[in-house]
């Protein structure tokens, strides 16, 4: 059986996968192994797992996989060792997203494999030919948009599921066979290793500097994101939804417009203009389609010669202008899949905030506390600060410093917040960016800068200056690894601390 023969009824799944390498045993790597193990002796001749560094969890999983017939090796030379055992090379490699393309580990796998792709790509290939994919990427907002899109589509009666970084790995959902519409959150890491991946709707939210240590340059990061659009011309009726308020994405909108409909091969819907989300790109530059907020805050999408109203931004349960943008992206995507505008509006209204994303988490002595622990970069914190136009929050900033430019954060905090509490490993650099030296900070005038050693102390410092009606906002602009294992752990710790202090006040 030739490897080029494809299974009928799937996107691009070879009858014979041959020798397969799985690179890494993170969440997606384990899922790929679980999918492939039952195929040993049939579509798969040999399954090799280059497990990377040893952990208790990876060793336990690897032992079980080996007992079921997989070849497993740990360490830097794992790929070379496995290739020798498997016959010298692999027909297909499936890479976990946490492994940089420039690492020796990844390069060894690429050299040993006829093709090396991401788990997202592999899942798309294995999925049913008539399944539909909505793929969402961007520096910020991906998770909310995916959760909101899955909520709207499922509410409209479609068998939709949020997959990828937001939920189960894509290949788990494909293997389960219960999904007709995959709403996939895809990162730049995953997109960098795609080849044929072609969603029916591609949503590109924004591109700002992030993960530069992984991609090595902003240009490489940008180009990985833009790979989401690469194969749309081959998908009948494909639509790209593009945030034209973002400078980098707007440049891509201009490029697509210059290609013309025939040169481009798919439709695109620009959201807003350089002036903001209220701009209509049809009026601005003659675009065929557009998504925007009109003067009274109505979400409007013009697509395929029809104009749709998808409710009002003010009726959403999720706060902030960024969530109006997220809802507009979801409305455009759902309408592109044929969902009725009234259904879109109804299910946008019923969606509640996600955990760790400007999540209300209680009050302490009348001060409202919000958990935005997912804000691990400056741009995400800028968005959170702008989400409280009627309040000047006390914002908690700090954690594991990414070394990014803090000037925009300082400017926005002084404009929108009444105080900043700088904490954790980043506290001294953050405080210095505000012009504060020493450990105590300054408290006075229209804006206060305080310092604290850890998250708990930061919350207490904020509550000490908060009054009834104030907002205390954890939106750190940093990773969590100085004190916590993940942003989720940090956010849950913050919520527990808020609950403790609330109970103490009420006692």
137 is in an annotated binding site: no
d(CA 140, CA 474): 17
Rg (CA), the chain: 24
237 is in an annotated binding site: no
Question: From the CB of residue 494, how many other CB atoms can be counted at a distance below 10 Å?
Answer: 27
142 is in an annotated binding site: yes
251 and 312 Cβ atoms separated by less than 8 Å? no
144 is in an annotated binding site: yes
- Residue 10 DSSP SS3: strand
The helices-and-strands tally (H runs, E runs) of the chain is 19, 21
114 and 86 Cβ atoms separated by less than 8 Å? no
381 is in an annotated binding site: no
Whole-Å CA distances, 123 to 169, 198, 212: 9, 12, 27
280 and 274 Cβ atoms separated by less than 8 Å? no
Question: From the CB of residue 248, how many other CB atoms can be counted at a distance below 10 Å?
Answer: 18
143 is in an annotated binding site: yes
- The count of residues in the chain is 507
139 is in an annotated binding site: yes
Pair of tokens at residue 331: 């409305």
**DSSP assignment of 366-387:** TEEEEE-TT--SHHHHHHHHTT
| DSSP run (H or E) holding 219 | helix 218-226
In sign, the C-alpha dihedral spanning 410, 412, 414, 417 is negative
Instruction: Cite the annotated binding site for ATP by residue number.
Output: 138-144
Instruction: Cite the annotated binding site by residue number.
Output: 138-144
């Amino acid at each position: 059986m030739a490897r080029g023969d494809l299974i009928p009824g799937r996107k691009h799944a070879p009858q014979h996968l041959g020798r397969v390498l799985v690179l890494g045993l993170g969440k997606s790597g384990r899922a790929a192994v679980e999918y492939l193990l039952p195929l040993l002796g049939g579509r798969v001749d040999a399954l090799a797992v280059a497990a990377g560094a040893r952990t208790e969890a990876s060793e336990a999983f690897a032992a079980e996989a080996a007992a079921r017939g997989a070849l497993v090796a740990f360490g830097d030379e794992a790929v070379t060792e496995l290739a020798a055992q498997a016959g010298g090379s692999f027909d297909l490699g499936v890479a976990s997203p946490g492994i940089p393309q420039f690492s020796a580990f990844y390069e060894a796998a690429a050299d040993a494999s006829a093709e090396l792709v991401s788990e997202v790509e592999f899942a798309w290939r294995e999925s049913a030919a008539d399944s539909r994919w909505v793929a969402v990427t961007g520096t910020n907002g991906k998770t909310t948009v995916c959760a909101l899109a899955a909520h709207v589509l499922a509410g409209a009666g479609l068998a939709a599921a949020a997959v990828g970084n937001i939920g189960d790995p894509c290949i788990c959902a494909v293997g389960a066979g219960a999904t007709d519409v995959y709403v996939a959150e895809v990162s730049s890491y995953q997109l960098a290793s795609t080849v044929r991946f072609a969603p029916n709707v591609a949503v590109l939210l924004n591109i700002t500097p992030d993960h530069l240590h992984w991609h090595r340059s902003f240009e490489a990061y940008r180009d990985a994101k833009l790979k989401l659009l690469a194969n749309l011309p081959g998908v009948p009726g494909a639509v790209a939804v593009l945030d034209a308020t973002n400078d980098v994405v707007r440049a891509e909108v201009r490029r697509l417009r210059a290609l013309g409909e025939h040169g481009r091969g798919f439709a695109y819907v620009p959201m807003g203009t350089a002036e903001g989300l209220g701009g209509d790109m049809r009026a601005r530059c003659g675009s065929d389609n557009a998504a925007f907020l009109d003067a009274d805050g109505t979400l409007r999408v013009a697509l395929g010669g029809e104009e749709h109203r998808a409710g009002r931004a003010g009726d959403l349960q999720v706060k902030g202008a960024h969530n109006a943008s997220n809802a507009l992206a979801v409305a455009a995507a759902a309408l592109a899949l044929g969902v009725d505008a009234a259904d879109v509006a109804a299910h946008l209204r019923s969606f509640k905030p996600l955990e760790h994303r400007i999540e209300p988490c209680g009050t302490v002595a009348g001060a409202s506390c919000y958990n935005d622990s997912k804000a691990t970069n400056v741009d995400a914190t800028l968005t959170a600060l702008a989400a409280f136009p009627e309040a000047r929050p006390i914002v908690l900033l700090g954690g594991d410093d990414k070394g990014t430019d803090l000037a925009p954060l300082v400017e926005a905090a002084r404009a929108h917040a009444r105080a900043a509490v700088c904490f954790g490993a980043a506290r001294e650099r953050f405080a210095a960016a505000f012009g504060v030296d020493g450990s105590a900070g300054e408290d006075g005038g229209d804006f206060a800068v305080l310092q604290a050693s850890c998250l708990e102390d930061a919350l207490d410092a904020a509550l000490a200056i908060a009054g009834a009606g104030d907002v205390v906002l954890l939106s750190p602009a940093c990773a969590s690894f100085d004190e916590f294992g993940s942003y989720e752990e940090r956010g849950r710790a913050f919520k527990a601390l808020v609950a403790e202090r609330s109970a103490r006040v009420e006692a």
